[in-house]
Amino acid sequence: MEALTSRSVQVSRKPMSLAERLFLPAILKGMGITFSHIFKKQPTIRYPEQRREFSPVFRGLHVLNRDEEGRERCTACGLCAVACPAEAITMEAAERLPGEEHLYREEKYAAKYEINMLRCIFCGLCEEACPKDAIYLSETFAPANYNRKGFIYGKDDMVIPNLKTDPEGFAKAKGSPRNN
């Protein structure tokens, strides 16, 4: 039969020599290779404790931003939803009532805002479309989940914690601090 490739080698059926039958030299050679790697630079990191730095253009989980006074920036203009190629974003708008000025920046706000992370492709077009600097893709992953319904992200999951009242949560939502 014609060989399929020019690199095929016939299996040698010769009986093994004494050195080969002892196996020890081969074991020692293998151990040598293994031990030599202890002194080499590790290509891996210890993941949950150590984390790699993200690229500055990394597009991770969405956050809905607040302004300097801690008011939500989103006005439910719908530009992110119309820009979204995966049609993952939906929202419902409401009018700000008197007395809610400290919560929402403009007279109209997103009462409900939802991103279906099963559909989202993390392209970042929502971030580009946003005229109010309200939506950002942070430097965090979307955590894994056993259920599909865990991937429907509402406002509770996305609005960034208030920097003034909850600085720790704010830093966590923003993503890993970069070592500049």
Partner 1 sequence: MSDTTLFKVTIDNISIDVPAGTTILNAARMIGGDVAPPAMCYYSKLEGSGGKCRTCLVEVSKGSEKDPRPMPKLVASCRTTVMDGMEVKNITSPKVVDARAGIVEFLLLNHPLDCPICDQAGECHLQDLSYEHGKEGTRYEFQRRTFKKHDLGKYIQLHMTRCILCYRCVFAADQLTGKREHGILDRGDHSEIATMIEKNLQSDFIGNVIDVCPVGALTDKTFRFKNRVWFLKPMNAHRDCPTCSGKVTLWNRGEEVFRVTARKDQWGEVEEWICNECRFEKKLSSDWTIEGPRLIDRHSVISQGHYAGTVGTNMPTETIEAVLHGRKPKLLMDIHEVSEVNRPKIELSKINGPAHSNNFNPDND
Positions touching partner 1 (CB under 8 A) are: 75-79, 81-82, 90-95, 97, 100, 106-108, 111-114, 116, 131-132, 148-149, 152, 154
**Which region holds residue 29: left if phi is over 0, alpha if psi is between -120 and 50, else beta?**
alpha
As a dihedral over the C-alpha atoms of residue 162, residue 137, residue 126, residue 55, rounded to 10 degrees, the angle is 150
Sign of the torsion formed by the C-alpha atoms of 169, 170, 176 and 178:
negative
Q: Output the smallest distance, CB 129 to partner 1, in A.
A: 11
Specify the residue, 88 or 137, whose C-beta has the smaller distance to partner 1.
88
Specify the residue, 51 or 148, whose C-beta has the smaller distance to partner 1.
148
- Judge contact between 128 and 136, C-beta under 8 A: no
Which stretches does DSSP call E strand in the chain? 62-64, 89-95, 108-116, 135-137, 152-153
Q: Output the smallest distance, CB 99 to partner 1, in A.
A: 10
153: number of CA atoms within 13 Å, CB side? 19
Specify the residue, 29 or 148, whose C-beta has the smaller distance to partner 1.
148
Q: Output the smallest distance, CB 154 to partner 1, in A.
A: 6
Q: Which has the closest alpha carbon to 118: 146, 139, 148?
A: 148
- Across 31-66, b (16+ Cβ under 10 Å) vs e yields eeeeeeeeeeeeeeeeeeeeeeebeeebbbbbbbbb
Specify the residue, 148 or 164, whose C-beta has the smaller distance to partner 1.
148
Q: Output the smallest distance, CB 101 to partner 1, in A.
A: 13
Q: Output the smallest distance, CB 1 to partner 1, in A.
A: 45
Q: Output the smallest distance, CB 105 to partner 1, in A.
A: 10
Specify the residue, 154 or 169, whose C-beta has the smaller distance to partner 1.
154
Specify the residue, 71 or 108, whose C-beta has the smaller distance to partner 1.
108
